[in-house]
Chain A
């Protein structure tokens, strides 16, 4: 079963997208001598072409988008799937890879091929049909790619457990701070700085509507970035609580609702589709980095997963407190 899930993942997300991209490249290469130089590469909102560029830019775009995503999946996600990691987002990502490759291949190949035999790029017909057909085919391909993969329950790799003794009269608590990885801190900071710089540039150019849009985005990404930077985790006799900076967002599970806890290996992309506070089927993830995480299972309902160091101790305390409560 392991082999077949990984194989389907690879076929949908990597093999077929690469083949489609390869076919598109061959078709574009054959068309290359027959298209005007330069070719139309950009169309105005009303339908006619309004920008030109070299014909090879189509091949570069097709290659970058059609091969980049499968390559990235092959390098980052496939080894995890092979190792037994399961999650809805693997299914989603591979289907997306397929749909995106089909969309790009159809649209860009069509846009180039329809210019064969033209005198000048300005004679190029509208790009709209290629976008519509490409978009539709891409969606259909993505849906098929999603459907042919089995529905998987997210399975987390468990880490070695620890043991914490709790005597009957003892009061014990565990506190930890979940911190973001360096990469995401740099990425978010860079995005905030760039957006703000863009807003300042728009202010200088007196483009006020765009300035407000960029300022709004700066605040939005800034706030999201803050929730993705740090979270306090607390385990005590009342239960487990995770709190973002300044107390928000917050999630807590009362001790009486807890079935058990484990230390697991969490993958932002594979199991949660990304970073931050994320609700996925079966779990709420507070995923600030990859790696060691505390997973708390409710007796009924979704689990809570938070990436924090020393998760094994935290999990052991949760289990010890739950066991003591049960006695």
Chain B
């Protein structure tokens, strides 16, 4: 699986790492039961601090996408399947909203109101 971050972007690095993993889950590259690479490997591979990666994994755990287990590392949970489905639904929603000529901010506002 491909992980990418851009140090020049304004987004915090941990959020970029988390988003990168999330994108892999959404694409179906990562499935339930798959192990995320050890945080140490990701840190050295992307040239970021180990704590940045651990922070990202923590965020994903809070979202319920991974389980952090001592000795086994980070394992993708069953919620990943639902999330990849939801991502598809959102893409569909975006397409329909665009077809109706709605501004993205309006769609986001409607979405926020519905939650």
Contact = CB atoms under 8 A, between A and B. Distances in A.
Contacts of B83: none
B111 interface: no
Interface in A232-272: 232, 234, 236-238
Contact of A175 (B4, B8, B45): B45
Contacts of B1: 174-176, 310
A174 B6 contact: no
Nearest to B36: A175
Given A173-B45, A173-B46, A167 B6 contact: yes
Interface in A188-246: 232, 234, 236-238
Contacts of B8: 169
A236 B2 contact: no
Contact count band on A: 10 to 19
Interface of B: 1-8, 29, 35, 37, 41-42, 44-48
A171 B2 contact: no
Interface in A147-183: 164, 167, 169-177
A317 B46 CA distance: 13
B66 to A, nearest CB: 15
A169 B7 contact: yes
Contacts of A238: 44
A164 to B, nearest CB: 7
A172 B29 contact: no
Given A232-B37, A234-B45, A237-B47, A171 B5 contact: yes
21 contacts: A167-B6, A169-B7, A170-B5, A171-B6, A172-B4, A173-B2, A173-B4, A173-B42, A174-B1, A174-B3, A175-B1, A175-B3, A177-B35, A234-B37, A234-B45, A236-B44, A237-B45, A237-B47, A310-B1, A310-B29, A313-B2
A174 B2 CA distance: 4
A291 B35 CA distance: 22
A21 B46 CA distance: 60
What are the 3 closest A-B residue pairs judged by CB atoms, nearest first? Answer: A173-B45, A236-B45, A172-B4
A69 to B, nearest CB: 40
A171 B37 contact: no
